[in-house]
Every structure is written in structure tokens, then in C-alpha cells.
Amino acid sequence: MTRKPAKAAIAQATSRAPEADEKAAAPASNRATRTAERRAAIVDAAMEEFIARGFAATRLDDIAKRAGVAKGTIYLHFKDKESMFEELVRTVIVPVVARLNALPPPTGPVRDLVEAFANNFLKEVINTRRGDLVRLIVAEGPRFPSVADFYYREVVSRGMTGMRALIELGIARGEIHEKNLARFPQILIAPAMIAVIWQSLFAQHAPLDAQEMLRVHLDLIFGERRTT
């Protein structure tokens, strides 16, 4: 909801800044930097706790302790628990979307493009905190319409559009034969989503070679791989 105006000071970037390399454990020179670092620490801690316990069961005391701040400090950055959760999702997802939008331009075989995307997804999402975050969104989405809306607009909708474009390109170039696939880009994504969920729930029962599964899935769509 209320998007606290970002402290204004952050923009300063203070001239001879000691270059606080992201969330480095550096001494932290000025106020603006410290404030930003604290916020980042709170976001990180909140993400861990929410992923581990879900929204309702997470205690703000635990987040504060993990972030190394007092509980009151959280309320200097976030209006309340709900806004914190919502802003947390935005904060974590936005950079991911930005990176996905920076995919290489469509040169070379479509299969290579999709494979690059899959490898990227493997490295950046599956088996990372971001993967857990996706599961968390699935878990809490129905109770946080604003989160579900945001996720749909920023990730699902864009992803679908991008995938559809790739599929149509593949069809136009004769790499993909199933014409109707463009109507359901979900089919292309589905195994990747399943991999995310599998790792959270069943990895200990039956480890899943996600990379190999995605490869087989691409074989299914593009036909057997040419090399190796």
C-alpha cells in the first residue's frame, strides 16, 4: 500500500562513499548507507523466515533478531506485517524480471534461446531462495490478492508473452511442429515450475535431476537433440 518514499537520502550516493559493495558487512559510513543496509538486512531476514514458516506463523521478533535490529526498527521501514510481505515480494522479484528482460536477442536457433532461458532458470531460480519464494507465492497468493496480482502482471504475464513470441518464432522457422503450443505457453514452463515445487517438497524422498528433465522436455518440443 503506502510506499514509504524511499528515504530521499539514498539518492545522495555521497561523493567519496566507501563503496559499500551491496550487502557487505562493511563498517557503514553515513546514515543513508546504514539505513539502506538495515532495510536490506530486514528484507533478507524476513524472506528466510517467511519461506520457512509462512506468513501467519512468522514472528516479527524472529525477523528482527535475525536481521540484528530491534523490532521497532522494522516499523521505521514498513507499515505493518502485511505491507512488509508485499514489499518484500516486490523487492526480490523486480531485479529478477529485469534480468529476464535482458535475454539475448533472437539470433540463432530458437532451441538455443529456450535452452539458454532454461539454464538461466535452473541457475537463478531452481534450488535458490528465489525458487522458495515462488513456492511461497503459490502458498500465500490466495490470501494476498495484491501479491498474486503483482506476480501475475510482472512475471506470469510477461513470461507468457515472451514465451509465446519464442514459440511462434520456432513455428515460423519450422523448429516447432505443434502449432497449438503458442496458445498455451504454460506447457513450455510447466516442467520448470514442477521442478521448483519438487525441490521444496520431495527432494529428500527422490532427488530430481531438473536439468536433465528440462532437456528431455525440450527434446519433446523441438525433436531429438542433434549433437551428442
Partner DNA sequence: TGACTATGACTGACTAGTCAGTCATAAATA
Partner DNA sequence: TATTTATGACTGACTAGTCAGTCATAGTCA
Sorted by sequence, the CB contacts under 8 Å of residue 70 that are 6+ apart come out as 64
Residue 124 three-state SS: helix
Residue 175 three-state SS: coil
Dist CA 100 CA 30 (whole Å): 33
CB of 200 to DNA, least distance (A): 22
User: In the structure grid, which three cell numbers stand for residue 61, read together?
Assistant: 521478533
Residue among 78 and 198 whose Cβ is closer to a copy of itself: 198
Query: Which of the residues 10 through 69 are near DNA (CB under 7 A)?
Result: 10-11, 14, 18, 29-31, 34-35, 38, 57-61, 68-69
Residue among 60 and 165 whose Cβ is closer to DNA: 60
With CB under 7 A as the contact rule, the residue among 45, 46, 47, 81 that binds DNA is: 81
Query: Which of the residues 115 through 134 are near a copy of itself (CB under 8 A)?
Result: none
Residue 201 is a binding residue for a copy of itself (CB under 8 A): yes
Residue 146 is a binding residue for DNA (CB under 7 A): no
Residue 18 three-state SS: coil
Residue 9 is a binding residue for DNA (CB under 7 A): yes
With CB under 8 A as the contact rule, the residue among 64, 121, 126, 191 that binds a copy of itself is: 191
Q: Are 132 and 192 in contact (CB under 8 A)?
A: no
Residue among 4 and 149 whose Cβ is closer to a copy of itself: 149
Rounding to the nearest 10 degrees, give the CA dihedral for residues 110, 113, 117, 118. 60
Residue 69 three-state SS: coil
CB of 196 to a copy of itself, least distance (A): 10
Residue 173 is a binding residue for a copy of itself (CB under 8 A): no
Q: Are 160 and 182 in contact (CB under 8 A)?
A: no
Dist CA 88 CA 97 (whole Å): 15
Sorted by sequence, the CB contacts under 8 Å of residue 20 that are 6+ apart come out as 26, 28, 29, 33, 37
Q: Which residues bind DNA (CB under 7 A)?
A: 7, 9-11, 14, 18, 29-31, 34-35, 38, 57-61, 68-73, 75-76, 80-82
Residues engaged in binding a copy of itself (CB under 8 A)? 52-57, 135, 137-143, 148-149, 151-152, 156-157, 178, 180-181, 183-184, 186-187, 189-191, 193-194, 197-198, 200-202, 205-206, 208, 212-213, 216-217, 219-221, 224
